[in-house]
Chain A
């Protein structure tokens, strides 16, 4: 009998060792089978469809195109869905090819380039737009945002100044105080922005939200957790939350170890990579939730992005490599490549964290540490990291 069991085991071993069948393309069995669920078809969709029809009906009219593109960009930001940015860019394309492109077209295209971190060509388009129409507030604002992300605070502040005359008071105040807060004057910036918000009762809800997010981030950098929390909550109730706000608030909660709240905030938004990353980071600390599926999904999404030559997610991927995969070297390489493009506090943070985890010497971080010191960056999350590199009180 023992022999026959051996045979049985051999057979079962053989059968299960054979390769599993590939997940190949298939022919659905039933005509009624749902093979894809499209993004929500709410009022957005109807509005977009109407705008698309208007553009198609009058291809030579610019205003419907601008309206359609703005709507696409808003939706892309709200849903963190890059396809809308691609639609917007395609709609602008015929207008960009004209010899004297409209400054608003140039500005919107620059916004799209900014979105995928093509900062140099975006700035060039904005210069062209402003040369034609120097009072185009959106162009100054986008220019300031790009320069701020690049860490050129003097130039960014210069780009905020014209807004005082061309844009709503609150918009100009957010622009300049955001820059000031990064350039070593966070206390002044916080006070001024708070005052501006108090005096801007008639401001648009989205502008108020933007001011509140900026206040929350300044308070967080200054280590005032209670104020940051208050401002984040005010921002969330001010208008429909956009991707930036949700990601920033999720990071705030992650730093406070409030993992269950991160899951509540983002659980049904896992379609977008930045949210999925934060969700997985939170789930890792919650025994009742399984973060493996989300970690594997992120792996697949970063692989898919790399396949198409997309590098705008390097900062997020560095966090993924460092905190979910324990690959400090890979994280450091990504964070370093990201630092060449963007220099916000969060970019410095992941770079320093990855460098510490990978055991990099101070010399490799010198450019970053010099940058932070030169600008007098005040950030409660960066100070301990800098201190660990032996550079007290930068």
Chain B
């Protein structure tokens, strides 16, 4: 998905006016995660299906969403993906929207359920060719850069690409995804960092004092990290298994608020000795946020538990790597008075300020041009 994301980013950032361009769709398959993403121009879908229900020349999200099933049915009927000679079932997932250089596109996420996902793969693409002979399907495997082009005279492409099968590759690939997510999802890391900043210190009513003992600091950090891990693993699993579901806007706003509170707690400590509880409480919310990535990937049912386990392990590994890098620095710096007297305060203030920007952005659904 990432290569398309980068591609889309570079296209939509630079397109002030929507272009007149021949029709393209962007199809990407991810054989490891058994999923696909298909970006189809709304203008083309309107030409084929009449999305603009009230004929006012504007397609609203409601109009697209109401026809979501028809859109999925229309598109997926015109796509055949086969592995080892056996066709895969294409199961509709989330319907979204994205921008390309010539306008907005419906994003069709779907899961691939293949009887034998060992490959080699073949893809047969027949979207819109009956309506627009100049339509092209630009296809890529997730992670590879050179797209293949489907056209009326080349609607089937065979890929002698063997795919990863079995538990280990799925585990490894989701673990990588989990690690990547925790390392670029820096709201989670900043929350953890805020809780770890006073790891080598103790609060004594008047201010922070260095504890001076590596052992105490390590226990302190271990308690915080363990509490955070237990909490977010719990809600991550429950959310990914569709046991609980909270609105993304609510969850993302609460995560931003948790970062701000954790940072402010270093300046005005209310829970100086119970940071592990703070980590546990807010960790529950972070878990739901982390799960959203896994949900977006919409893994096929068979490998769901393996995917969840791999993803979770990746998240923990990424988190431990970050802690291992930060903790020695924090504890060492804690020995100097300037750290406890001002660096901790200013650093926490900076984190809190950033988190407040996120909170405003996420809760009001606006974009502030600050970071």
Q: Which residues of A contact B (CB under 8 A)?
A: 1, 3-5, 7-8, 10-12, 15-16, 18-19, 22-41, 79-83, 85-87, 89-90, 93, 116, 270-273, 276, 293-294, 296-297, 299-301, 303-305, 307-310
**Contacts of B365 on A, CB cut-off 8 Å?**
29
**Contacts of B37 on A, CB cut-off 8 Å?**
25
Sorted nearest first, the 10 A-B pairs with minimum C-beta distance are A86-B134, A31-B62, A89-B133, A4-B342, A296-B14, A86-B132, A28-B61, A25-B96, A36-B42, A11-B350
**Contacts of B22 on A, CB cut-off 8 Å?**
82-83, 85-86, 308, 310
Nearest Cβ in chain A — how far from B65, in angstroms? Answer: 7
Residue pair A271, B97 in contact (C-beta under 8 Å): no
Can you name 8 A-B pairs with beta carbons within 8 Å? A4-B346, A7-B347, A18-B186, A25-B96, A33-B61, A35-B59, A276-B19, A297-B14
State A273–B102 Cα separation when bound (angstroms): 11
**Contacts of B42 on A, CB cut-off 8 Å?**
35-36
**Contacts of A38 on B, CB cut-off 8 Å?**
43, 46, 52, 57-59
The answer, yes or no, to whether B104 is at the interface (CB within 8 Å) is yes
The answer, yes or no, to whether B270 is at the interface (CB within 8 Å) is no
Nearest Cβ in chain A — how far from B296, in angstroms? Answer: 9
Partner of A4, one of B17, B129, B136, B345: B345
**Contacts of A27 on B, CB cut-off 8 Å?**
94, 96-97, 248
Residue pair A32, B10 in contact (C-beta under 8 Å): no
Given known A-B contacts A26-B98, A33-B60, A90 and B19 have beta carbons under 8 A apart = no
Residue pair B60, A15 in contact (C-beta under 8 Å): no
Residue pair A82, B12 in contact (C-beta under 8 Å): no
Residue among A1, A7, A83 with the highest chain B CB neighbour number at 10 A: A83
Q: Tell me the B1-47 residues at the A interface (CB within 8 Å).
A: 2, 5-6, 8-24, 37, 39, 42-44, 46-47
In the complex, besides A23-B5, A30-B61, 16 extra interface pairs with C-beta distance below 8 angstroms are A4-B343, A7-B342, A7-B343, A25-B98, A25-B107, A25-B109, A32-B60, A37-B57, A79-B20, A83-B23, A90-B133, A297-B15, A304-B11, A304-B102, A307-B149, A310-B22
Residue pair A26, B96 in contact (C-beta under 8 Å): yes
Residue among B11, B20, B147 with the highest chain A CB neighbour number at 10 A: B20
Residue pair B134, A271 in contact (C-beta under 8 Å): no
Partner of B133, one of A86, A271, A294, A309: A86
Residue pair A304, B20 in contact (C-beta under 8 Å): no
Given known A-B contacts A23-B5, A89-B133, A301 and B347 have beta carbons under 8 A apart = no
Nearest Cβ in chain B — how far from A201, in angstroms? Answer: 36
**Contacts of B243 on A, CB cut-off 8 Å?**
none
**Contacts of B186 on A, CB cut-off 8 Å?**
15, 18
Residue pair A293, B19 in contact (C-beta under 8 Å): no
Given known A-B contacts A271-B20, A293-B16, A304 and B101 have beta carbons under 8 A apart = yes
**Contacts of A16 on B, CB cut-off 8 Å?**
371
Nearest Cβ in chain A — how far from B10, in angstroms? Answer: 7
Nearest residue, chain B, Cβ from A1: B342
State A82–B60 Cα separation when bound (angstroms): 25
Given known A-B contacts A11-B351, A36-B104, A85-B134, A301 and B19 have beta carbons under 8 A apart = yes
**Contacts of B130 on A, CB cut-off 8 Å?**
90, 93
Partner of A297, one of B55, B101, B248, B350: B101
Given known A-B contacts A38-B46, A90-B131, A308 and B136 have beta carbons under 8 A apart = yes
**Contacts of A23 on B, CB cut-off 8 Å?**
5, 8-9, 12-13, 98-99
State A117–B152 Cα separation when bound (angstroms): 18
Given known A-B contacts A38-B57, A79-B20, A26 and B346 have beta carbons under 8 A apart = no
Nearest Cβ in chain B — how far from A360, in angstroms? Answer: 31
Interface size, chain B (Cβ < 8 Å)? 78
State A31–B53 Cα separation when bound (angstroms): 13
State the total of A-B contacts with C-beta under 8 angstroms.
Answer: 202
**Contacts of B103 on A, CB cut-off 8 Å?**
36
**Contacts of B16 on A, CB cut-off 8 Å?**
270, 293-294, 297
Nearest Cβ in chain B — how far from A18, in angstroms? Answer: 5
State A40–B20 Cα separation when bound (angstroms): 13
The answer, yes or no, to whether B246 is at the interface (CB within 8 Å) is no
Residue pair B19, A37 in contact (C-beta under 8 Å): no
Residue pair B57, A40 in contact (C-beta under 8 Å): yes
Nearest residue, chain B, Cβ from A24: B5
**Contacts of B351 on A, CB cut-off 8 Å?**
11, 15
**Contacts of A270 on B, CB cut-off 8 Å?**
16-17
Partner of A3, one of B12, B133, B343: B343
Nearest Cβ in chain A — how far from B18, in angstroms? Answer: 6
Residue pair A80, B20 in contact (C-beta under 8 Å): yes
Nearest residue, chain A, Cβ from B337: A3
Q: C-beta contact mask, B242-253 vs A, less than 8 Å → 1, else 0?
A: 000000110000
Nearest residue, chain A, Cβ from B94: A27
Residue pair A3, B338 in contact (C-beta under 8 Å): yes
State A36–B57 Cα separation when bound (angstroms): 9
**Contacts of A308 on B, CB cut-off 8 Å?**
22, 24, 136, 138, 149
Residue pair B62, A32 in contact (C-beta under 8 Å): yes
Residue pair A35, B104 in contact (C-beta under 8 Å): yes
Q: Tell me the B163-186 residues at the A interface (CB within 8 Å).
A: 184, 186
Residue pair A90, B97 in contact (C-beta under 8 Å): no
Q: C-beta contact mask, B338-371 vs A, less than 8 Å → 1, else 0?
A: 1000110111011100100000000001000001
**Contacts of A29 on B, CB cut-off 8 Å?**
249, 365
State A5–B94 Cα separation when bound (angstroms): 46
State A315–B20 Cα separation when bound (angstroms): 18
Nearest residue, chain B, Cβ from A46: B55
Nearest residue, chain B, Cβ from A5: B346
Residue pair A3, B21 in contact (C-beta under 8 Å): no
Nearest residue, chain A, Cβ from B24: A308
The answer, yes or no, to whether B199 is at the interface (CB within 8 Å) is no
State A111–B6 Cα separation when bound (angstroms): 37
Nearest Cβ in chain A — how far from B39, in angstroms? Answer: 8
Partner of A11, one of B56, B58, B184, B346: B346
